[in-house]
């Protein structure tokens, strides 16, 4: 009898240890059994790609494997526009991208990606947790059918050039390569430069041959494209401080149980925070490496862009039809 009691006590102790080390909320019975397709356009080294895999890891662990996430990197599901359209339709469940595609369907979304809205990356992160931004994300959900699960830092675009720039006035009439993106081109034009569309694959040669005076991109792109080999100055304009987001189709989300919805939202936010930390570190490292490569850095006082920002935001207000919302976003502390 004594031997049986000791054996029973051992079994109970073993069971308590097993329960104690199990991941919190890992019982699959609490969640819908579903597989989510998650697409993005980045390669494995990009912070956004790492964030998508972190989301997969977190959600599958939290739901005890009931919810599976299949991540499709490198545009495997198509171009960003195609994937976004499929998320709207509910044919692809999730995507990681910016608000540019949403802005084409819902004008207030363009505020987030507009030039000189966020002062710096810390200001941007405060914006993404503000009530004013929630109004925009709610509008994206109700007007487009795409739910913004969480936002994270993507990067700040900077100008590089071979012509010496000491202040904002020196940017006037510089021919700067810009992607054929209305938001980026409007910001470049507002700074007084001449936006010149050119495929990214052609920019290195265009810079080396003087077809354009410079270009604008986040540090990671400047590094990966080796623009430091054909550009002397990096001008810290921060003209576009950009976020990106984890989206889910509202049609898909609405079919899930409250527990599954809550798990997705929680894991998306945790993955977004993880992505932001990587993006911050990558950006800091990028600046350091570009200095080591011999680029001369030029810091411009943001106050020098006051007139440019005012003009740009007046045009934005006319497009969006809500000047107060723009001012509320800018005023977030």
pLDDT at 3: 42
Report which DSSP code applies to 295.
P
Give me the mean pLDDT over the 256-274 stretch: 98
Three-state DSSP class for 194?
Answer: strand
Q: What is the pLDDT of residue 224?
A: 87
Q: By 3-state DSSP, what share of the chain in percent is helix, strand and coil, each rounded to 5? A: 55, 20, 25
Q: What is the token pair recorded at 124?
A: 């941007």
Per DSSP (E only), the strands in 61-127 are: 67-72, 94-97
E strands within the chain?
34-39, 67-72, 94-97, 146-161, 175-178, 194-197, 214-217, 233-249, 296-299
pTM of the complete model: 0.86
pLDDT at 21: 31
The band of 329, judged by pLDDT with boundaries at 50, 70 and 90, is very high
pLDDT band with cut points at 50, 70 and 90 for residue 26 = low
Using alpha carbons, select from 266, 241, 268 the residue that is nearest to residue 122.
Answer: 241
Distance CA 217, CA 178 (A): 8
The partner residues of 151 in beta bridges, in order of sequence, read 245
- What pLDDT sits at residue 10? 34
pLDDT at position 205: 96
pLDDT at 4 over 50: no
pLDDT of 29 over the 90 cut: no
| Mean pLDDT across the chain | 91
C-alpha distance from residue 61 to each of 6, 30, 71, 247 (Å): 34, 13, 15, 20
């Amino acid at each position: 009898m004594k031997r049986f009691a000791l054996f029973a006590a051992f079994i109970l102790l073993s069971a308590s240890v097993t329960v104690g080390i199990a991941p919190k909320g890992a019982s699959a019975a609490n969640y819908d059994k579903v597989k989510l397709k998650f697409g993005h356009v980045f390669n494995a080294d990009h912070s956004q790609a790492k964030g998508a895999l972190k989301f997969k890891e977190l959600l599958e662990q939290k739901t005890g494997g009931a919810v599976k996430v299949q991540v499709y990197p490198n545009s495997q599901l198509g171009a960003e526009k195609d994937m976004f359209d499929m998320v709207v339709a509910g044919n692809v469940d999730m995507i990681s991208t910016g608000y540019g595609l949403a802005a084409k369907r819902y004008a207030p979304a363009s505020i987030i990606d507009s030039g000189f809205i966020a002062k710096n990356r810390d200001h941007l992160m405060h914006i993404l947790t503000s009530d004013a931004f929630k109004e925009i994300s709610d509008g994206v959900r109700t007007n487009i059918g795409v739910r913004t699960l969480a936002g994270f830092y993507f990067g700040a675009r900077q100008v590089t050039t071979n012509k010496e720039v000491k202040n904002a006035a020196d940017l006037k009439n510089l021919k700067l390569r810009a992607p054929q993106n209305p938001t980026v081109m409007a910001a470049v034009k507002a700074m007084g430069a001449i936006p010149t569309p050119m495929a990214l694959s052609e920019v290195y040669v265009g810079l080396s041959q003087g077809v354009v005076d410079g270009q604008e991109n986040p540090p990671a792109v400047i590094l990966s494209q080796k623009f430091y080999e054909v550009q002397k100055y990096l001008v810290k304009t921060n003209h576009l401080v950009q976020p990106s987001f984890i989206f889910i189709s509202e049609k898909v989300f609405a079919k899930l149980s409250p527990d599954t919805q809550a798990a997705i939202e929680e894991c998306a936010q945790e993955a977004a925070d993880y992505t932001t930390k990587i993006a911050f570190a990558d950006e800091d490292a990028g600046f350091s490496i570009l200095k080591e490569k011999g680029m001369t850095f030029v810091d411009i006082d943001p106050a020098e862009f006051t007139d440019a920002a005012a003009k740009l935001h007046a045009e934005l207000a006319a497009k969006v039809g809500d000047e107060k919302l723009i001012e509320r976003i800018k005023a977030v502390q």
